[in-house]
Amino acid sequence: MLTVSVKWQKELLKAVEIDTSQPPYVFKCQLYDLTGVPPERQKIMVKGGLLKDDADWSTVGLKQGQKLMMMGTADEVVKAPEKGPVFMEDLPEEEQVVSLGHSAGLFNLGNTCYMNSTVQCLHSVPELKSSLVKYSHSGRNNDVDQTSHMLTIATRDLFGELDKSVKPVAPMQFWTLLRKKYPQFGQLHNGAFMQQDAEECWTQLLYTLSQPLRSAGSSENIDTVKDLFGIDLASRIHCQESGEETSETESVYSLKCHISQEVNRLHEGLKHALKSELEKASPALGRSAIYLKESRINGLPRYLTIQFVRFFWKRESNQKAKILRKVDYPLELDVYDLCSDELRKQLEGPRQILRDEEGKKLGLKANEKSSSSKDDDVKMIDGEGSSNASGESTVTTSQEGVPSDKETRLTGIYDLVAVLTHKGRSADSGHYVAWVKQESGKWIEFDDDNPIPQREEDIVKLSGGGDWHMAYICMYKARTVLM
């Protein structure tokens, strides 16, 4: 770690720390926070010319206490006119975010697109943000290690920055703590940080948040992350040779979509993944035998995450190869037929109510004068509506203003709200991007620090079949009813 001073215009920035284990682009992001000069406009004079984003610090020859010269103009700060109309640029930054309709992008700190896209997808879950806001520095209990506690704080703070800023955010603190908690994300190759697997980052981050956010801000024992993302599976394990049969249950954060020559659609891949063969010791036969494992969903979450299993280990090249096959996925996903008999029975009532309510909606459009419904016992919440994170009972208010106990019920029907894509031929290279549906219903492509509006019809075209961006993780939001 070196400390330098930086001369910029009439300012002298003293005691600026440089982490020489990170590329110069990270240093430029620090200067952006201090000066407002975007990294691409910064010209920093060093021995031998200008400092490049990917330069090797060991060849730059910096010394402790050295003074550097930086040239570049900061982003213009638009002053509000004393009179006349108020434009979006004149509003406070937090109000600009609201007017803009989407949150900020994230600077790539050196092959960190896997992390940026994961953060953008999870940042779109309001219930997760709400739970993080309730978590405080002093909220750590004995079951949570210090690194997990600090990574949770960093996630909370980063989500807050994204909501308040219209300019790209440099997630340096979050990235530092992510690497401290999971050193594999800090792997270097030729002095540069390596590309990592976004699904691994997604799973590890949820696993880390699950402990600190358990019962955060509540006296009840609520597992926020499990309620939001956890999927309960009930499995039957059968050996045809010996007739042995056992059962087991497990909780996971995502369903897998297996890809083969027979799989053309997401639903087919999910069915394939819920059936598998495994070899293990058979007590009855006294040797190893083949068992068939058949799983069914026995508990659904608020947000259903699906991973397309596109990467596999290729022994010939000794690396993760990618399956480019096109697999179509829908904007609306119904997983009723993947559920256990017990869960199906629980879903039947809410599904009928949902169908009735959607039928009424269609009817009301034709005759708006009869828009008032006499049936106040049921309220529908679609994929974009608010929902209670626990999935248990929630309190609603009737038209007369009198609180009434209602229970939020899942229907097994989900709406697509985020897609994380990968472009390239290998998991250890290429580029990750997040495509996230906003509260307004508009879709935004978050390509690191560059948010780009997209059309909904183009989102389902990210299904693969070539070298373009293809879906690697899809996140669906539950369509629920209040009963």
Active site residues: 113, 431
Residue showing tokens 């056992």:
246
Strand residue runs (E) in 267-325: 275-282, 287-299, 303-308, 311-314, 319-322
Judge contact between 405 and 397, C-beta under 8 A.
no
Length of the chain: 483
DSSP label at residue 84: S
Q: How far apart are CA 405 and CA 395, in angstroms?
A: 5
Give me the amino acid identity at 154: A
- Contact between residue 425 and residue 414 where contact means Cβ atoms under 8 Å apart: no
DSSP-based three-state secondary structure for 466:
coil
Which amino acid, one-letter code, is at 124? Answer: S
Residues 229 and 305: beta-carbon distance below 8 Å: yes
Q: Which of 13, 12, 24, 11 is nearest to 62 (CA)?
A: 24
d(CA 404, CA 94): 35
Cα three-residue angle 23-26-29, rounded to 5 degrees:
150
Q: Taking a C-beta distance cutoff of 8 angstroms, is the pair 478, 392 a contact?
A: no
Joined together, the tokens standing for residue 332 give: 């609306």
- At residue 182, φ and ψ (nearest 5 deg) are -130, 90
CB atoms < 10 A from the CB of 167, how many?
Answer: 17
Do residues 300 and 335 touch, judged by C-beta distance below 8 A? Answer: yes
- Are 107 and 193 in contact by the 8 Å Cβ rule? The answer is no
Both tokens of 163, joined, read 């909501």
Cα angle 330, 334, 338 (rounded to 5 degrees) comes to 120
| Residues 280, 286: Cα–Cα separation, whole Å | 11
Q: Which distant-in-sequence residues (6+ apart) come within 8 Å of 369 by Cβ?
A: none
Report residue 78 CA to chain centroid gap.
33
Assigned token pair, 180: 């401290």
Q: Is 344 helix (H, G, I), strand (E, B) or coil?
A: helix
